[in-house]
Structure 1
Amino acid sequence: MKNIYNKVKHIAVCVFLIAAASSCDNDIQDIGGAQQNYNTVYGMLKANSNLSTYVKAIELTGLQSTLDTQDDYTYFVPSDATFDAYLVANGYVNDIGYPDVNLVPVEYLKQLVLSHVVKGVKKRVAKLEGVEADYLETGEYSTMANALNPDLYLLGINVTNGVLKVNGSDKPASGLDYYGTNGFINVLDNVIELTPPAPVITSLSQVLASPGDVLTIIGQNFVKVKTVKFGSTEAAFTVESKTELKVTVPADFDSYALIVVETEFGVSAPSGIGLKYLLYEDSLKGWGWGWGGDITWQSTEKVSRGTYAIKKVAEAWSGLFMHSDLLLNAADYQFVKMSIFPTESTKIMVTINSDTADSSKGTTVTLVAGQWNNISIPISALHPELLPEGKFDSVFIQEFSGGTITPGSVLYIDDLGFL
């Protein structure tokens, strides 16, 4: 990113921005058709012809008096071309197909304007030798939009070797950091949106459940939650935080359901509770074997639910194989589910394709020590396309830490089945 610093009051109006011009000691470049001197940053916004769409957005939202103050500001402003492209991409075009900022709902436009402003600081990007100033550093910044709506994401800033990238942009900011008496304006090649993405469910506190049970749903982006559904049934819920929900299993819950969380910003991918087929409850519905450490098929030492769990002494690359009495059709199931309690943090590889420890046919899962890890693995992650006729009758679990696990560590496995 090229940067011009106003060192003196003398003004030189140049027609084009060129890299070599940044070396002028007593000049300041034209920044969109306006002569610049010791103006405020708000005055600079209004004076620059290439930032007119953003200025229009300020006027439409009635934010002039909020922003036209002597407080310190750092602006990140999309150029007119960038803002217009955003309007077109989001359908804000007039009858003849031209971008029209007047069509953006006022409340959303207000959030959009304020998402580009950090108040209380005036920070530039490229460091100039011999010039003392505050500089932008890589990190997250709270914008004026965050002050009004704390559910919004923070502004992500990346500054590397004097190059600025903002809010996940994969390209450098396109403009100079224009200096005013109370701040800087950075011209961007992207429009900043701090809206949370759709929610994500990462885990449930239980593999199996009964009506009335209170589950904990762990995930991300639980902001302005509208519903939590078990299948088509809405469940009572409480938002504990952006990453945790408490939900009561509905009265009409049978034995399994797919759970989805809906917020104002989207719907999560489903996560399953319950099982259609339970391969291991208090005993294995079939037969199995293991290697690289003792295995106890009915241990009472550590149980997630019921009376027994599998106890597997886990040495490096050790594992166990479980064979079902039934031949199962992969198309009938969406998840492999199990509860695992490791005494040491490790990684396991899980496959339903074979008993040959072929990791290309499975997937790996990282386990947290000292707690029950309730795991839901999508069948799609286990390469069902490689199954003969789409059928399977086994589950293979192998310790997969790369040889770092302490010999004698233990895995307890309970409630293993398919949903």
Structure 2
Amino acid sequence: MNFISTISKFALLAILATGFVACSDDDEAGDIIVPSNSIVDFVADNDDYSSLAAALEVAGLTASLDGNANYTVFAPNNAAFNAFLSANGFDSLDDVPEDLLREVLLNHLQSGEIMASDLSTGYISSMATGMASEDPLSLYINTEDGVMINGMAEVTNADIEVDNGVIHAVDAVIGLPSIVDFATADPTFEILVQALTREDEFTFVETLQMTEDPAPFTVFAPTNDAFVALLEELELSGLGDIPTETLSAVLRYHVVAGANVRSGDLSDDMMVETLHGDSFTVNLGDAVTITDARDRTATVIAADVQANNGVIHVLDTVILPAE
């Protein structure tokens, strides 16, 4: 290749480079501007998410979700917002109190990028806080058949990647969960729910949905296996064989009213007064255990499931009040 040919080659490359720059967006200083595709851009550019876009703006979250920090967003569409407004007695988004709207939206957010394959059945923390505590609210994820959140919102389109995170489209707004919401969403508590609703006269469900006095609640929730073991211990064939008065007393013995007692608030030999009236004793060690009024022991196998109106600690044994 001769000298003239070499010059011609570089001239051609220079022309191509100039043409490439000319086809890019420039700012006033001549710098190349790379078009962004942030979470906010995605929502704004999709008509089916106009309600979410408006809600983010009202709640003051637009700037955060348009920045450099990465987030995972469970994104409800317009139909989901309409259903949420109707179910809660709001005529429009403008009727939702701003602080409530902000917490509801934060309940759809996770810090960092979480792909659908990273999720597993169990509890994670959202970015929202509820009325009972300054600690983050929990989200119950069920991945047995797709991805279901708090038993109310299903992921319909997963892993939409944007510049500052990932979006999972959901078919419902994930409201601030009550203790009852977690109990009904988590199949671990199926027998507990059956017990709470066995009698028409029982008001446990209505009570444990309350957000005012006697809320907040601390619930020590026995698993299905715990109830099966109790029936064997009492030599009963099923839940229906437990007398109504006894069942009511046992259920109230698992509830503390007027306090959101998280695991960090517990101390060794702590006496805990229950909604039933009897107390039990907390023991700290390698695991948190509870000694009931009959000197039986239960172990806390999962702690600090935070709801809007209280907290749940999961027990491996049904505790019993005095005879």
Provide TM-score, normalisation by structure 2: 0.47
Which is richer in strand?
1
Provide TM-score, normalisation by structure 1: 0.38
Which is richer in helix?
2
User: Which structure has more RCO (C-alpha within 8 Å, separation ≥ 6)?
Assistant: 2
